[in-house]
Amino acid sequence: MHPSWIVMPLCLALSAGAAAGSGAGMIAERASNDEAAPGFRFNTVPAPRVRDLAAGAAFKLVQGEADANSGGLTALHDGRWPGSEDEPARNFFFAPGTDGGRILVDLGEPSEWDRVVSYSWHPGARGPQVYRLFAARGDEPGFAAEPKRPLDPEQAGWRLVADVDTRPAKGEPGGQYGVCVSNVVSGPCRYLLFDIRRAGARDAFGNTFYSEIDVLGRNSPEEPADTANPALEIVHTGGCEVVLDTQEAPGLTAWARTKVAPMVREWYPKLIAMLPSEGFEAPGRVSVVFDPQMRGVAATQGSRVRCSADWFEANLEGEALGAVFHELAHVAQQYRRARSLTPGATRPPGWLVEGIADYLRWYRFEPSRRGAEITAQGLPRARYDGSYRISANFLNWASESYCPDLVARLNAAIREGRYREESWREATGHSLPELGDQWRLALKHKLGIDTESAVAP
Protein backbone atom coordinates (compact mmCIF):
# COMPACT_ATOMS: atom_id res chain seq x y z
CA MET A 1 0.00 0.00 0.00
CA HIS A 2 1.25 3.46 -0.88
CA PRO A 3 -1.02 6.05 0.76
CA SER A 4 -1.23 9.48 -0.78
CA TRP A 5 0.07 12.11 1.61
CA ILE A 6 0.04 15.86 1.94
CA VAL A 7 1.65 18.35 4.31
CA MET A 8 -1.06 20.64 5.57
CA PRO A 9 -0.71 24.30 6.70
CA LEU A 10 -0.45 24.84 10.44
CA CYS A 11 -2.01 27.67 12.42
CA LEU A 12 0.21 28.54 15.38
CA ALA A 13 -0.33 30.55 18.53
CA LEU A 14 2.99 30.54 20.35
CA SER A 15 3.29 31.59 23.95
CA ALA A 16 5.52 34.55 24.69
CA GLY A 17 8.41 32.30 25.61
CA ALA A 18 8.19 30.05 22.57
CA ALA A 19 11.13 30.32 20.26
CA ALA A 20 10.86 30.53 16.51
CA GLY A 21 12.10 27.45 14.72
CA SER A 22 10.89 25.13 17.47
CA GLY A 23 10.05 22.33 15.03
CA ALA A 24 6.45 23.46 14.59
CA GLY A 25 4.63 21.49 11.96
CA MET A 26 1.88 19.15 11.05
CA ILE A 27 1.72 16.23 8.66
CA ALA A 28 -1.54 14.77 7.43
CA GLU A 29 -1.72 11.60 5.37
CA ARG A 30 -4.62 9.86 3.73
CA ALA A 31 -5.11 6.34 2.43
CA SER A 32 -8.03 6.09 0.01
CA ASN A 33 -10.74 3.47 0.42
CA ASP A 34 -8.82 1.18 -1.91
CA GLU A 35 -5.54 1.70 -0.06
CA ALA A 36 -6.76 1.69 3.55
CA ALA A 37 -5.80 -1.29 5.71
CA PRO A 38 -5.97 -2.12 9.44
CA GLY A 39 -3.14 -0.68 11.47
CA PHE A 40 -3.09 2.82 9.91
CA ARG A 41 0.18 2.30 8.07
CA PHE A 42 1.32 5.60 6.60
CA ASN A 43 4.57 6.83 5.09
CA THR A 44 5.34 9.49 7.71
CA VAL A 45 2.58 9.63 10.33
CA PRO A 46 3.51 7.07 13.01
CA ALA A 47 1.34 4.01 13.47
CA PRO A 48 -1.03 3.96 16.47
CA ARG A 49 0.24 2.27 19.58
CA VAL A 50 -1.01 0.69 22.75
CA ARG A 51 1.37 2.48 25.12
CA ASP A 52 1.46 6.28 24.97
CA LEU A 53 0.68 9.20 27.27
CA ALA A 54 -2.99 9.18 26.25
CA ALA A 55 -3.45 5.55 27.31
CA GLY A 56 -3.63 6.56 30.97
CA ALA A 57 -5.12 10.01 30.45
CA ALA A 58 -8.64 11.07 31.41
CA PHE A 59 -10.86 11.97 28.45
CA LYS A 60 -13.92 14.12 29.14
CA LEU A 61 -16.68 15.38 26.90
CA VAL A 62 -16.77 19.10 27.61
CA GLN A 63 -19.40 19.88 25.01
CA GLY A 64 -21.46 17.90 22.53
CA GLU A 65 -23.28 14.57 22.50
CA ALA A 66 -21.69 11.24 21.70
CA ASP A 67 -23.52 9.06 19.21
CA ALA A 68 -25.10 6.12 21.03
CA ASN A 69 -23.67 3.73 18.42
CA SER A 70 -20.09 4.86 18.95
CA GLY A 71 -17.60 3.25 21.30
CA GLY A 72 -17.56 6.31 23.55
CA LEU A 73 -14.50 8.28 24.55
CA THR A 74 -12.75 5.08 25.63
CA ALA A 75 -12.39 4.17 21.96
CA LEU A 76 -10.00 7.11 21.55
CA HIS A 77 -7.29 5.78 23.85
CA ASP A 78 -7.87 2.09 24.51
CA GLY A 79 -5.18 0.88 22.09
CA ARG A 80 -7.82 -0.89 19.99
CA TRP A 81 -8.62 0.38 16.55
CA PRO A 82 -10.96 -0.68 13.75
CA GLY A 83 -10.25 -3.69 11.61
CA SER A 84 -12.41 -2.35 8.78
CA GLU A 85 -13.77 0.88 7.38
CA ASP A 86 -17.14 1.04 9.11
CA GLU A 87 -17.05 -0.17 12.70
CA PRO A 88 -18.98 2.31 14.84
CA ALA A 89 -18.17 0.61 18.15
CA ARG A 90 -14.41 0.98 17.52
CA ASN A 91 -14.66 4.73 16.97
CA PHE A 92 -15.84 7.84 18.76
CA PHE A 93 -18.16 10.18 16.88
CA PHE A 94 -20.70 12.82 17.80
CA ALA A 95 -24.46 12.42 17.47
CA PRO A 96 -26.16 13.04 14.12
CA GLY A 97 -27.29 16.54 13.34
CA THR A 98 -24.71 18.12 15.62
CA ASP A 99 -21.58 20.11 14.80
CA GLY A 100 -19.10 18.09 16.81
CA GLY A 101 -18.07 19.29 20.24
CA ARG A 102 -15.12 19.68 22.58
CA ILE A 103 -13.06 16.95 24.25
CA LEU A 104 -10.70 17.54 27.17
CA VAL A 105 -7.65 15.31 27.65
CA ASP A 106 -6.07 15.44 31.11
CA LEU A 107 -2.62 13.82 31.14
CA GLY A 108 -2.65 13.84 34.96
CA GLU A 109 0.43 16.02 35.34
CA PRO A 110 2.41 18.45 33.21
CA SER A 111 4.22 16.42 30.55
CA GLU A 112 6.77 17.14 27.86
CA TRP A 113 4.73 15.76 25.01
CA ASP A 114 6.22 15.84 21.55
CA ARG A 115 3.42 14.93 19.15
CA VAL A 116 -0.32 14.39 19.09
CA VAL A 117 -1.53 11.93 16.49
CA SER A 118 -5.18 11.43 15.54
CA TYR A 119 -6.58 8.65 13.37
CA SER A 120 -9.91 8.27 11.60
CA TRP A 121 -11.46 5.80 9.15
CA HIS A 122 -14.73 5.78 7.27
CA PRO A 123 -15.67 5.03 3.65
CA GLY A 124 -17.51 8.32 3.20
CA ALA A 125 -17.74 11.88 4.44
CA ARG A 126 -17.04 10.85 8.04
CA GLY A 127 -13.41 10.07 7.27
CA PRO A 128 -11.72 13.52 7.21
CA GLN A 129 -10.70 15.32 10.40
CA VAL A 130 -11.65 18.90 11.23
CA TYR A 131 -10.58 20.28 14.61
CA ARG A 132 -8.53 22.86 16.47
CA LEU A 133 -6.09 21.61 19.09
CA PHE A 134 -5.27 23.66 22.19
CA ALA A 135 -2.82 23.03 25.04
CA ALA A 136 -2.46 24.38 28.58
CA ARG A 137 -0.46 23.80 31.76
CA GLY A 138 -3.46 24.60 33.94
CA ASP A 139 -2.03 27.53 35.89
CA GLU A 140 -2.39 30.23 33.23
CA PRO A 141 -4.14 33.45 34.26
CA GLY A 142 -7.87 33.15 33.76
CA PHE A 143 -7.59 29.47 32.91
CA ALA A 144 -10.89 27.65 32.37
CA ALA A 145 -10.49 23.87 32.20
CA GLU A 146 -13.77 23.27 30.35
CA PRO A 147 -14.48 26.19 28.03
CA LYS A 148 -17.68 25.80 26.04
CA ARG A 149 -18.67 27.38 22.75
CA PRO A 150 -18.92 30.18 21.84
CA LEU A 151 -16.04 30.99 24.22
CA ASP A 152 -12.72 31.01 22.37
CA PRO A 153 -10.29 28.85 24.40
CA GLU A 154 -7.55 31.41 23.73
CA GLN A 155 -9.56 33.82 25.87
CA ALA A 156 -9.54 31.28 28.72
CA GLY A 157 -5.81 30.55 29.15
CA TRP A 158 -5.37 28.05 26.32
CA ARG A 159 -2.83 28.21 23.49
CA LEU A 160 -3.72 27.19 19.96
CA VAL A 161 -1.45 24.42 18.69
CA ALA A 162 -2.98 23.48 15.33
CA ASP A 163 -5.91 24.06 13.04
CA VAL A 164 -6.63 20.77 11.26
CA ASP A 165 -8.80 20.29 8.18
CA THR A 166 -8.07 17.24 6.02
CA ARG A 167 -11.13 17.44 3.78
CA PRO A 168 -9.96 16.99 0.19
CA ALA A 169 -10.61 19.87 -2.19
CA LYS A 170 -12.18 17.49 -4.70
CA GLY A 171 -13.03 13.84 -5.07
CA GLU A 172 -14.48 11.37 -2.61
CA PRO A 173 -13.49 12.01 1.03
CA GLY A 174 -13.60 8.43 2.30
CA GLY A 175 -10.61 6.52 3.61
CA GLN A 176 -8.12 6.56 6.45
CA TYR A 177 -6.62 9.76 7.81
CA GLY A 178 -3.66 10.25 10.11
CA VAL A 179 -2.68 13.67 11.47
CA CYS A 180 0.55 14.22 13.38
CA VAL A 181 0.85 17.58 15.17
CA SER A 182 4.19 18.62 16.64
CA ASN A 183 4.34 20.40 19.97
CA VAL A 184 4.91 24.14 19.48
CA VAL A 185 4.39 25.37 23.03
CA SER A 186 7.19 25.96 25.51
CA GLY A 187 7.39 23.85 28.64
CA PRO A 188 5.28 20.92 29.80
CA CYS A 189 1.50 20.84 29.42
CA ARG A 190 -1.10 18.90 31.34
CA TYR A 191 -4.21 19.55 29.28
CA LEU A 192 -5.20 19.20 25.63
CA LEU A 193 -8.48 20.42 24.20
CA PHE A 194 -9.93 19.23 20.90
CA ASP A 195 -12.51 21.58 19.40
CA ILE A 196 -14.01 19.24 16.79
CA ARG A 197 -16.27 20.22 13.91
CA ARG A 198 -18.30 18.00 11.60
CA ALA A 199 -16.55 17.02 8.38
CA GLY A 200 -19.57 16.40 6.15
CA ALA A 201 -22.43 18.80 5.54
CA ARG A 202 -24.62 16.92 3.04
CA ASP A 203 -26.79 15.23 5.66
CA ALA A 204 -27.08 14.77 9.42
CA PHE A 205 -24.43 12.05 9.49
CA GLY A 206 -21.30 14.10 8.98
CA ASN A 207 -19.35 13.69 12.22
CA THR A 208 -15.98 12.02 11.82
CA PHE A 209 -15.24 8.47 12.99
CA TYR A 210 -12.20 9.11 15.24
CA SER A 211 -10.45 5.82 15.86
CA GLU A 212 -7.61 6.73 18.19
CA ILE A 213 -5.71 9.68 19.66
CA ASP A 214 -2.10 9.16 20.72
CA VAL A 215 0.01 11.58 22.72
CA LEU A 216 3.71 10.82 22.31
CA GLY A 217 6.38 11.85 24.77
CA ARG A 218 9.79 13.19 23.80
CA ASN A 219 11.33 9.73 23.93
CA SER A 220 8.40 7.57 22.87
CA PRO A 221 9.76 4.69 20.77
CA GLU A 222 8.32 3.93 17.37
CA GLU A 223 5.94 1.00 17.58
CA PRO A 224 4.64 -0.54 14.34
CA ALA A 225 0.91 -1.21 14.30
CA ASP A 226 1.17 -4.92 13.57
CA THR A 227 3.30 -5.53 16.66
CA ALA A 228 1.51 -2.95 18.79
CA ASN A 229 -1.77 -4.76 18.35
CA PRO A 230 -1.26 -8.50 17.87
CA ALA A 231 -5.02 -9.04 18.16
CA LEU A 232 -5.34 -7.80 14.57
CA GLU A 233 -4.11 -10.63 12.37
CA ILE A 234 -3.95 -9.54 8.73
CA VAL A 235 -4.08 -12.31 6.14
CA HIS A 236 -3.14 -11.56 2.54
CA THR A 237 -4.51 -14.11 0.11
CA GLY A 238 -5.38 -14.12 -3.57
CA GLY A 239 -5.22 -10.34 -3.83
CA CYS A 240 -7.51 -9.96 -0.82
CA GLU A 241 -6.88 -8.78 2.72
CA VAL A 242 -8.74 -10.55 5.54
CA VAL A 243 -8.52 -9.10 9.05
CA LEU A 244 -9.03 -11.40 12.04
CA ASP A 245 -9.95 -9.13 14.93
CA THR A 246 -9.74 -10.60 18.45
CA GLN A 247 -9.22 -7.30 20.28
CA GLU A 248 -12.27 -7.94 22.45
CA ALA A 249 -11.57 -11.67 22.77
CA PRO A 250 -7.85 -12.12 23.60
CA GLY A 251 -8.45 -15.77 24.48
CA LEU A 252 -9.02 -16.42 20.77
CA THR A 253 -5.95 -14.57 19.46
CA ALA A 254 -3.59 -17.58 19.35
CA TRP A 255 -6.28 -19.79 17.76
CA ALA A 256 -7.08 -17.17 15.13
CA ARG A 257 -3.42 -16.82 14.26
CA THR A 258 -2.51 -20.53 14.15
CA LYS A 259 -5.75 -22.08 12.87
CA VAL A 260 -8.00 -19.52 11.21
CA ALA A 261 -5.31 -17.56 9.37
CA PRO A 262 -3.89 -20.60 7.50
CA MET A 263 -7.43 -21.72 6.62
CA VAL A 264 -8.31 -18.29 5.27
CA ARG A 265 -5.07 -18.07 3.30
CA GLU A 266 -5.76 -21.38 1.55
CA TRP A 267 -9.54 -21.49 1.28
CA TYR A 268 -10.82 -17.95 0.65
CA PRO A 269 -9.41 -17.93 -2.91
CA LYS A 270 -10.85 -21.42 -3.41
CA LEU A 271 -14.27 -20.23 -2.27
CA ILE A 272 -14.22 -17.42 -4.78
CA ALA A 273 -13.21 -19.86 -7.52
CA MET A 274 -16.02 -22.26 -6.57
CA LEU A 275 -18.65 -19.49 -6.79
CA PRO A 276 -17.97 -17.77 -10.11
CA SER A 277 -20.22 -15.61 -12.24
CA GLU A 278 -19.60 -13.29 -15.16
CA GLY A 279 -18.02 -9.99 -14.21
CA PHE A 280 -18.08 -10.73 -10.47
CA GLU A 281 -15.28 -9.51 -8.25
CA ALA A 282 -15.22 -10.66 -4.65
CA PRO A 283 -14.57 -8.15 -1.85
CA GLY A 284 -10.92 -7.21 -1.59
CA ARG A 285 -11.09 -6.50 2.14
CA VAL A 286 -12.86 -8.69 4.68
CA SER A 287 -13.08 -8.36 8.46
CA VAL A 288 -13.84 -11.17 10.92
CA VAL A 289 -14.56 -9.77 14.38
CA PHE A 290 -14.93 -11.90 17.51
CA ASP A 291 -17.35 -10.09 19.79
CA PRO A 292 -18.08 -11.14 23.40
CA GLN A 293 -21.34 -9.17 23.30
CA MET A 294 -22.79 -11.17 20.43
CA ARG A 295 -25.27 -13.95 21.04
CA GLY A 296 -25.83 -16.90 18.73
CA VAL A 297 -22.95 -18.09 16.56
CA ALA A 298 -22.05 -15.72 13.71
CA ALA A 299 -23.52 -13.39 11.12
CA THR A 300 -22.26 -11.83 7.91
CA GLN A 301 -23.19 -8.51 6.36
CA GLY A 302 -21.42 -7.67 3.12
CA SER A 303 -17.73 -8.21 3.80
CA ARG A 304 -17.98 -8.03 7.59
CA VAL A 305 -18.28 -11.18 9.68
CA ARG A 306 -19.24 -10.96 13.35
CA CYS A 307 -18.66 -13.99 15.56
CA SER A 308 -19.80 -14.76 19.09
CA ALA A 309 -16.60 -14.96 21.13
CA ASP A 310 -18.27 -17.07 23.84
CA TRP A 311 -19.55 -19.66 21.37
CA PHE A 312 -16.23 -19.93 19.57
CA GLU A 313 -14.24 -20.27 22.79
CA ALA A 314 -16.53 -23.16 23.78
CA ASN A 315 -16.20 -24.90 20.40
CA LEU A 316 -12.53 -24.54 19.48
CA GLU A 317 -12.05 -28.30 19.32
CA GLY A 318 -15.31 -28.84 17.47
CA GLU A 319 -17.06 -26.74 14.86
CA ALA A 320 -15.41 -23.35 15.35
CA LEU A 321 -13.15 -23.41 12.31
CA GLY A 322 -15.89 -24.69 10.03
CA ALA A 323 -18.21 -21.95 11.28
CA VAL A 324 -15.74 -19.29 10.17
CA PHE A 325 -15.51 -21.03 6.78
CA HIS A 326 -19.32 -20.97 6.48
CA GLU A 327 -19.36 -17.19 7.03
CA LEU A 328 -16.56 -16.68 4.51
CA ALA A 329 -18.75 -18.55 2.03
CA HIS A 330 -21.41 -15.88 2.61
CA VAL A 331 -18.82 -13.19 1.94
CA ALA A 332 -17.98 -14.91 -1.34
CA GLN A 333 -21.67 -15.21 -2.26
CA GLN A 334 -22.43 -11.45 -2.09
CA TYR A 335 -26.05 -12.01 -3.10
CA ARG A 336 -27.41 -8.89 -1.42
CA ARG A 337 -24.92 -6.62 -3.16
CA ALA A 338 -25.71 -8.26 -6.49
CA ARG A 339 -29.43 -7.59 -6.01
CA SER A 340 -28.74 -3.93 -5.30
CA LEU A 341 -26.94 -3.65 -8.65
CA THR A 342 -29.59 -5.52 -10.66
CA PRO A 343 -33.02 -3.82 -10.84
CA GLY A 344 -35.83 -6.32 -10.50
CA ALA A 345 -33.54 -9.10 -9.28
CA THR A 346 -35.30 -11.90 -7.43
CA ARG A 347 -34.54 -12.67 -3.81
CA PRO A 348 -33.20 -16.23 -3.37
CA PRO A 349 -34.82 -18.49 -0.76
CA GLY A 350 -32.95 -18.41 2.52
CA TRP A 351 -32.72 -22.18 2.70
CA LEU A 352 -30.75 -22.22 -0.55
CA VAL A 353 -28.37 -19.44 0.53
CA GLU A 354 -27.54 -21.29 3.74
CA GLY A 355 -27.59 -24.65 2.00
CA ILE A 356 -24.93 -23.56 -0.50
CA ALA A 357 -22.70 -22.25 2.30
CA ASP A 358 -23.05 -25.50 4.24
CA TYR A 359 -22.58 -27.60 1.09
CA LEU A 360 -19.23 -25.92 0.53
CA ARG A 361 -18.35 -26.44 4.17
CA TRP A 362 -19.33 -30.09 4.62
CA TYR A 363 -18.59 -31.45 1.15
CA ARG A 364 -15.59 -29.37 0.11
CA PHE A 365 -13.83 -27.98 3.19
CA GLU A 366 -14.28 -30.70 5.80
CA PRO A 367 -15.96 -33.73 4.19
CA SER A 368 -14.24 -36.14 6.57
CA ARG A 369 -16.33 -34.79 9.46
CA ARG A 370 -19.51 -35.99 7.72
CA GLY A 371 -21.39 -33.17 9.36
CA ALA A 372 -24.26 -33.18 6.85
CA GLU A 373 -25.07 -36.86 7.03
CA ILE A 374 -28.75 -37.69 7.65
CA THR A 375 -29.54 -40.53 10.03
CA ALA A 376 -32.68 -42.59 10.40
CA GLN A 377 -33.67 -40.38 13.34
CA GLY A 378 -33.26 -37.28 11.19
CA LEU A 379 -35.12 -38.63 8.17
CA PRO A 380 -38.55 -37.22 9.18
CA ARG A 381 -37.01 -33.73 9.00
CA ALA A 382 -35.35 -34.33 5.65
CA ARG A 383 -36.87 -31.69 3.38
CA TYR A 384 -34.89 -30.13 0.57
CA ASP A 385 -35.70 -26.68 2.03
CA GLY A 386 -34.62 -27.70 5.54
CA SER A 387 -31.69 -25.25 5.24
CA TYR A 388 -28.08 -25.58 6.43
CA ARG A 389 -26.90 -29.22 6.67
CA ILE A 390 -30.11 -30.75 5.39
CA SER A 391 -30.18 -28.62 2.26
CA ALA A 392 -26.44 -29.19 1.88
CA ASN A 393 -27.08 -32.93 1.79
CA PHE A 394 -29.79 -32.42 -0.85
CA LEU A 395 -27.49 -30.24 -2.97
CA ASN A 396 -24.74 -32.83 -2.80
CA TRP A 397 -27.12 -35.62 -3.89
CA ALA A 398 -28.52 -33.54 -6.76
CA SER A 399 -25.00 -32.59 -7.90
CA GLU A 400 -23.79 -36.19 -7.86
CA SER A 401 -26.97 -37.53 -9.47
CA TYR A 402 -27.61 -35.00 -12.23
CA CYS A 403 -25.37 -31.93 -12.52
CA PRO A 404 -21.80 -31.78 -11.15
CA ASP A 405 -21.69 -27.98 -11.43
CA LEU A 406 -25.19 -27.46 -10.01
CA VAL A 407 -24.07 -25.26 -7.10
CA ALA A 408 -21.97 -23.03 -9.36
CA ARG A 409 -24.91 -22.66 -11.76
CA LEU A 410 -27.37 -21.83 -9.00
CA ASN A 411 -24.92 -19.37 -7.48
CA ALA A 412 -24.49 -17.53 -10.79
CA ALA A 413 -28.25 -17.38 -11.31
CA ILE A 414 -28.81 -15.96 -7.82
CA ARG A 415 -26.01 -13.42 -8.09
CA GLU A 416 -27.19 -12.24 -11.50
CA GLY A 417 -30.77 -11.87 -10.29
CA ARG A 418 -32.26 -14.52 -12.59
CA TYR A 419 -32.84 -17.38 -10.14
CA ARG A 420 -36.27 -18.98 -10.16
CA GLU A 421 -37.52 -22.45 -9.34
CA GLU A 422 -37.38 -23.37 -13.01
CA SER A 423 -33.57 -23.09 -12.73
CA TRP A 424 -33.56 -26.58 -11.22
CA ARG A 425 -35.29 -28.13 -14.21
CA GLU A 426 -32.93 -26.32 -16.58
CA ALA A 427 -29.92 -27.77 -14.75
CA THR A 428 -31.18 -31.28 -13.96
CA GLY A 429 -34.20 -31.99 -16.14
CA HIS A 430 -36.42 -32.29 -13.06
CA SER A 431 -38.49 -29.88 -11.00
CA LEU A 432 -37.46 -29.01 -7.48
CA PRO A 433 -40.34 -31.02 -5.86
CA GLU A 434 -39.46 -34.02 -8.05
CA LEU A 435 -35.84 -33.80 -6.97
CA GLY A 436 -36.91 -33.56 -3.35
CA ASP A 437 -39.00 -36.73 -3.60
CA GLN A 438 -36.22 -38.65 -5.35
CA TRP A 439 -33.69 -37.52 -2.74
CA ARG A 440 -35.86 -38.78 0.13
CA LEU A 441 -36.27 -42.15 -1.58
CA ALA A 442 -32.49 -42.32 -2.06
CA LEU A 443 -32.02 -41.58 1.63
CA LYS A 444 -34.42 -44.34 2.60
CA HIS A 445 -32.63 -46.76 0.32
CA LYS A 446 -29.26 -45.78 1.82
CA LEU A 447 -30.60 -46.22 5.35
CA GLY A 448 -32.35 -49.50 4.51
CA ILE A 449 -35.78 -48.04 5.18
CA ASP A 450 -38.79 -48.87 2.99
CA THR A 451 -36.46 -50.31 0.36
CA GLU A 452 -39.23 -52.03 -1.58
CA SER A 453 -40.68 -48.69 -2.64
CA ALA A 454 -37.33 -47.06 -3.25
CA VAL A 455 -36.67 -46.20 -6.88
CA ALA A 456 -33.54 -45.08 -8.59
CA PRO A 457 -33.52 -41.40 -9.53
> What does the alpha-carbon distance between residue 122 and residue 91 come to, in Å, rounded to a whole number?
10
Whole-number pLDDT of residue 248: 87
Whole-number pLDDT of residue 216: 93
Whole-number pLDDT of residue 4: 40
Can you give the length of the chain in residues? 457
> What does the alpha-carbon distance between residue 236 and residue 239 come to, in Å, rounded to a whole number?
7
> What does the alpha-carbon distance between residue 284 and residue 251 come to, in Å, rounded to a whole number?
28
Whole-number pLDDT of residue 30: 95
> What does the alpha-carbon distance between residue 323 and residue 311 come to, in Å, rounded to a whole number?
10
Walking along the chain (457 residues) 10 residues at a time, the average pLDDT comes out as 38 26 70 83 89 94 97 94 88 97 96 94 95 96 96 97 94 94 85 96 90 87 54 86 90 96 96 94 89 92 92 96 98 82 80 98 97 94 96 98 97 92 97 97 90 46
Whole-number pLDDT of residue 17: 24
pTM above 0.85, yes or no: no
The full DSSP string for 198-246 is -S--SSS-----EEEEEEEETTPPP--HHHH-TTEEEEEETTEEEEEE-
268 neighbors 332 (Cβ within 8 angstroms)? yes
